[in-house]
Amino acid sequence: MMNDTGELAPVADATGKASGARRQRTDIRTRDLINQAVASIPTLGLQRAAEFLATMNVPAEVAVRVLVYPNRRRIN
């Protein structure tokens, strides 16, 4: 299956999770919240960015991944 960029998207397995190392993003709202939090780090700091994501109900494992390990962040 191809996504909007013409790249192959992982196919979901029987549990509903995508196979492969990364899942295709389906939640645009979460992407936008993460973009806001990451952009705010230089002015507000990591703690405030994390608090913002927690307040906005971004899953903790996602928040940790994008804030602490920026090279693991999905950009699409």
Task: Give the separation between CA 16 and CA 18, rounded to whole angstroms.
Answer: 7
Q: Using one digit for the tens of pLDDT, what is the confidence trace for 41-68?
A: 999 999 999 999 999 999 999 999 999 8
In this prediction, residue 74 has a pLDDT band, given cuts at 50, 70 and 90, of low
Q: Using one digit for the tens of pLDDT, what is the confidence trace for 18-35?
A: 444 555 566 899 999 999
Could you tell me which residues come within 8 angstroms of residue 42 by beta carbon, excluding any fewer than 6 positions away?
none
